[in-house]
Amino acid sequence: MTKVITYGTYDLLHYGHIKLLERAKALGDYLIVGVTADDFDRKRGKLNVQQTLIERIEAVRATGLADEIIVEEYEGQKIDDIKRFEVDIFTVGSDWVGQFDYLNEFCKVVYLERTQGVSSTELRSRQHEIRIGLVGESRVINKFAHESQYINGIRIVGVCTKAPENLNAALLKLPLVTASYPELLEHVDAVYILSHPSKHYRHIKAALEKKIHVLYESPMALSLAHCKELQTLSRTQDCVLSEGIKTAYSIAYNRLILLAKSGKIGDILSVEAVCTSLQDIDYSDSKSLEHTWNSMTAWAPTALLPVFQLLGTQYTSKQIISKIGNEEMRFDKFSRLHFIYPTATASVLVGKGIKSEGHLIISGTKGYIYVPAPWWKTEYFELRYENPQENRRYFYQLDGEGIRYEILAFARAIDKKQHHNIASNISEGIVQIMEAFVQRKDCLSLDN
């Protein structure tokens, strides 16, 4: 009996897949089909596979061509499978020519001509494309546009900015580059808002009123009343309102939060998060500070995320200690935030005029989680105990600093009309801190 094996994702199973499976089957007597697991696809950079593993397996099964279906979960598995199932022929489409020649050592390798004119990528992008507009002056907009290329089903169609000099060549070539926000809103289904935080409320409101979905770089607004108004508006307009904190979308970060919550380090007693990035800022130039994010808005949403996700937002008291660089603009060189909860404490340090070790430490009654700097681009963390032999290390690949996953989650939320990742009480908690800072409530300023 000749055994044949082939692998694929088989997302939105199409004619090209069926043709391939038919020819693979014809190469022998018994066909094994390996369907890639979701995690494995993500590692290979196939981010927005639309169907779940179960759905994809069912689709392959329904063709009636596979005698056996297996799941491909790790790199190098093909060799294991070929040996285990005593496979005679390995085959894939001609888009892979040469890439599996190394398997010749274990069985015969056959590349079959790929069917022209059809692919899962193309089918995915045909499903109602979301037109996205970008808003803001920061260069991060270029990064966002770059990362969005990895996601099918969305297209950046325009930018609204007062600083076109910060746009790269690709963005300058877009059909719409304008200083008029209403004009941008006429041409899009969704916006990514990276304007100065003082404009977020106005920009988000205008978008939602036109039933345009919003992904905003946190914070949502600078007052709780504005935040609640926007949340209500997003519900009545049936629009997605997504908090953009890229760390929240990193796999490693999510895993460490789950581990902490599942009691691996006992009861959580303390969270300590530091986020700093030294920048050359002229604190006497109020005009230029108008466009610059202060330390609080630039970093506190990220630093507060693990605090609020682990300890909640119902702290009994807080204190914000800042060194203010420009009083009129409420621009802090750095701020330290202390939170007291009934059974725990938290401390956060954020700054653009200070340099420190950007780590995250979550301490519990049995051990602690340590995430080295820069923890907000988390790929790696450790679980540490009194007895070092019990320590564990975790590594999860992070592509595109998390921005890619953030865009993907946003696109999915729009598609499935579902809200996601960051709970609304956390968005509110972040805005409350911004409001306290602006109103100097529970705040203390150090001398300059």
The Cα–Cα gap between 139 and 163 comes to: 9
Choice between 37 and 257, CB closer to ligand CTP: 37
Cα 283 to Cα 138, 278, 291: the distances in Å are 18, 13, 12
Residue nearest to ligand CTP (CB): 93
Among 66, 92, 160, 346, binds ligand CTP (CB under 6 A): 92
The Cα–Cα gap between 388 and 104 comes to: 44
DSSP designation for 420: -
Does position 149 interact with ligand CTP (CB under 6 A)? The reply is no
Concatenating the DSSP letter of every residue in 123-134 gives HHHHS-PEEEEE
Q: Angle 424-439/224-236 helices, nearest 10 degrees?
A: 150
Among 115, 149, 237, 345, binds ligand CTP (CB under 6 A): 115
Nearest approach, Cβ of residue 93 and ligand CTP (Å): 2
Restricting to residues 49-88, which ones interact with ligand CTP according to CB under 6 A? none
Does position 20 interact with ligand CTP (CB under 6 A)? The reply is yes
Among 17, 42, 196, 203, binds ligand CTP (CB under 6 A): 17
Looking only at Cα atoms, what is the longest distance across the chain? 84
Token pair of 186 as six digits: 């006429």
DSSP designation for 320: E
Do residues 379 and 395 touch, judged by C-beta distance below 8 A?
yes
Nearest approach, Cβ of residue 262 and ligand CTP (Å): 34
The Cα–Cα gap between 215 and 223 comes to: 18
Choice between 18 and 206, CB closer to ligand CTP: 18
Does position 114 interact with ligand CTP (CB under 6 A)? The reply is yes
Does position 120 interact with ligand CTP (CB under 6 A)? The reply is yes
Choice between 17 and 42, CB closer to ligand CTP: 17
Q: Which residue has the tokens 């404009």?
A: 199
Among 8, 133, 219, 244, binds ligand CTP (CB under 6 A): 8
Does position 118 interact with ligand CTP (CB under 6 A)? The reply is yes
The Cα–Cα gap between 311 and 308 comes to: 5
Among 4, 10, 222, 358, binds ligand CTP (CB under 6 A): 10
By the criterion CB under 6 A, which residues form the site for ligand CTP? 8-11, 16-17, 20, 46, 92-93, 95, 114-115, 118-121
